[in-house]
Amino acid sequence: MAAVTFIHTSDFQLGMTRWFLSPAAQSRFDDDREEAVARLGELATETGAEFIVVAGDVFEHNSLNKSTLLRAKEVFKNLPVPVYLLPGNHDPLVADSIFFHSFADNVHVIADSNPIEVRPGVEIVGAPYLSKRANYDLVRRALEPLEPFDKAAGGIARIAVGHGQVESRAGESADTDADTIDLAFVERCLDEGVIDYLALGDTHSTASLGRTGKVWFSGSPETTAFDDRERDSGNALVVTVEGDRVDVAKRSVGRWHFRAIDADLNSMEEVERFLSELDELPGKTRTAVKYSLRGTLGLNAQARLEQGLADLEEVFASLKPRERTMDLHLAPSEEELGELSLNGYAADALAELLENLDNPTARDAANLLFRLSAKGA
């Protein structure tokens, strides 16, 4: 039985910047996002994939600088198989679209929903964004006119490509977003043989949707957000369609890790454990960490924490506190207080602050006074 294998990917968002990265780390991030695209070509060669479909948000926006655009063109040109690019909500096919630039012959922009013949028996049907926000279900609009794909007449596979969510972002109490993809309708199309697979983008984590095993978010090939919300990114999908059977294999292609770490710190031992956890993370130059700390520490433990974080900050791509969830307090022991050289007004001020530690301003002031006193002791 005839079959076809292809790579499903999405959300390159080339040109993306991350505010928490230093200029040097941002440069590495830019380079590695392009390298991830190049590795898709290597994956295609390794698996025998005939083409690559990119399910939207190829670029971060339509106003790329010249260098980013030229480098992207070079990466696409060097891919060993044809690549089909779907405009998404970040890079819609509007008047100033990046997709109106000329690309190499192996690059094909999915500009409408007319079926595209990849080779005899293999079709792609896309649902491109033609504006920044759609006011209807783009995938349903693309699939509704189609009849079942005639495999008795040599049809092998019809691949649908879309970008968006199958559940409303607005929440259960709000009306469904107009552009939300109707998964039940898609599954009917799969059951009836109208399409064989729906390649989706928009969510940056890899996920199978619904009951069929034929609707997937590929996720971004390189990590874009912290793992408290982007839990399985840095992948691409190798998809094989053979008759009614669809096999999907997840393959890792990314190098970056964005970690969100929470810790309770109430002793020197817990501080050391937290610093060791950070120190043991591999690939620090390509790892960004945001941390949220809770607890109460004495002066010595606080000083150890601050020094340890300062040292580690030099080797990570980013290491920053999550300020809005930080709840770490300084409470020196009696022994530590006895070592402070405070008298007169400073001693009176400290006593007053210690009586009002429920007040965040007083707590911050006390913490500052402790640190200054400890340094001057």
What does the pLDDT look like over 53-104, one tens digit per residue?
A: 999 999 999 999 999 999 999 999 999 999 999 999 999 999 999 999 999 9
| Contact (Cβ atoms closer than 8 angstroms) between residue 45 and residue 235 | no
3-state secondary structure 74-90: HHHHCCCCCEEECCCCC
Mean pLDDT for 125-138 is 94
Within 10 angstroms of residue 266's Cβ, the number of other Cβ atoms is 16
CA distance 264 to 297: 10
Confidence (pTM):
0.88
Q: So what's the pLDDT on residue 200?
A: 98
CATH class of segment(s) 3-252: alpha beta
| Stretch 100-128: mean pLDDT | 96
- pLDDT, position 303: 86
Amino acid 376: pLDDT: 55
Indicate the domain borders of the chain: 3-252, 257-376
Provide the token pair at 182: 């109707």
pLDDT tens-place string over residues 158-182: 999 999 999 855 554 444 578 899 9
